[in-house]
Copies of this chain bind each other. A is one copy, B any other.
Amino acid sequence: MTTTPQARTVRRGRPGHDLESVLQIAVRLFNERGYDGTSMEDLARKLGITKSAIYHHVPSKQELLRLAVDRALDRLFGVVARAEAIDGRAIERLEYLVRGSVAVLVEQLPFVTLLLRVHGNTKVERAALARRREFDRIVANLVTEAENDGDIRPDVDPAVTARLLFGMVNSLIEWYRPGRGDSDIAEAVARIAFDGIRVRA
Contacts and interface: CB of A to CB of B under 8 A. Distances in A.
A74 interface: no
Chief secondary structure at chain A's binding surface: helix
A126 interface: no
Contacts of A166: 171
Interface residues of A, number: 42
Interface string A168-180: 1011101110000
Identical chains in the assembly: 2
A198 B197 CA distance: 12
Nearest to A172: B167
Interface of A: 34, 36-37, 91, 143, 150-157, 160-161, 163-168, 170-172, 174-176, 181, 184-185, 188-189, 191-200
